[in-house]
Amino acid sequence: MSNFDNIAGIFKAAFVYEDQTQDEAKESVRKKLENKWNQLKFESSKKIIKPRYDAAMLILK
């Protein structure tokens, strides 16, 4: 769940440590957040994270 609170950190890792371009980083972050969303098992967790997930997907499309 912390990934949804630290999107800037995920971008930084993509730029600095993975040496990605802006478009590559955007796609990488989107995929990572989608994977984390799909790994959530509890509906209560999904309910809490859903607004952040939806907002991130709007920005990253």
How far is 34 from 17, CA to CA, in rounded Å?
21
Give the pLDDT of residue 47. 95
**pTM of this prediction exceeds 0.75:** yes
25 CB burial (10 A radius; 0-12, 13-18, 19+): buried
Q: CA quadruple 30, 6, 44, 32: dihedral positive or negative? A: positive
- Which residue segment(s) compose the domain that 22 sits in? 2-60
- Residue 11: CB partners within 8 Å, gap ≥ 6? 25, 29
* pLDDT tens-digit readout, 4-60: 889 999 999 999 999 999 999 999 999 999 999 999 999 999 999 999 999 999 999
The domain total for the chain is 1
